[in-house]
Amino acid sequence: MKKTSLLIFLLIFEIVAVTLTLALDDIFYFFNFTYIGLGLTIGIYLHVSNSKYSRYGRNVIQLAIGLYMLVFLGFMSHENMMIEGFWYYLFLGSFTAAVIHYAVAKIFGPLLFGRGWCGYACWTAMILDLLPYKYPNQNLDYKRKGFGYIRHILFIASLVLVSGLFLFKINNLEMWMFYLFLLGNIIYYAIGIALAFALKDNRAFCKYICPTTVFLKISSYFSLLRIKHDENSCINCNKCLRVCPMEVDIFDNSRKRENGTECILCLNCIKECPHSALDL
């Protein structure tokens, strides 16, 4: 990955940080997006470097950003940053908290950087990626399970749930949203870990269950930042396929490639390629 790309990536976050700070007159957004942007830039640089610490680069940045979102924004600030929180603040007409988070990381941002959020900042995946089944397709005949529809059911259910809270005029909605944040995370971790061991795939939750991917898969289809394959340099060793946690057909450069909207930009394929046939 070129240093210029990393600098552009950081610049995008700084533009968002300054714009939101000026628009909302709140310095929090400057520190928030500067921290996330710097963290991602440093983490990606470390991850793709040839140092002995590169193997830990992505895990370090996942923990740095994931714990910030989970502990500081979630537990301490009582902001529901899950999809229920997005619907809640959206219905309130409040362009803050989860609405901004979703707009930048999961709706419009992926038009630029695809599923980068899933690879470097998700607080659910930061735990799942520590489990033992990092590469589900060691056997190249591995086929996905046919229950990806669950994500759509949960997506609709989250919308109906929050709509119901408003419709029935439930009191203390902020408290209820905080409880939903706590309960939701417990359920996500439990299901995610159980699925990882059941299917021997750390990222099974991301592929079949996570409702946020309904947004992500749509916008990431048009992502400007994509991994490209150079067939002239490729020797068809299939090493890139073996280390892809999301089973993306990296040989196909079209936007319609199999599981193309699943790429989390982990860059494992680029690091593993012995002939530099892949680039970002």
pLDDT digits (tens, 9 = 90+) for 244-265: 999 899 999 999 898 899 999 8
pLDDT at residue 46, rounded to an integer? 77
Token digits for 13? 């976050």
User: Residue 76 is which amino acid?
Assistant: M
pLDDT the model gives residue 45:
78
* pLDDT value, residue 140: 43
> Nearest-CA neighbor of 118 among 30, 228, 223?
223
Q: Tell me the pLDDT band of 1, cut-offs 50, 70 and 90.
A: low
pLDDT at 3 (0 to 100): 67
pTM over 0.85: yes
For residue 173, is pLDDT > 70? yes
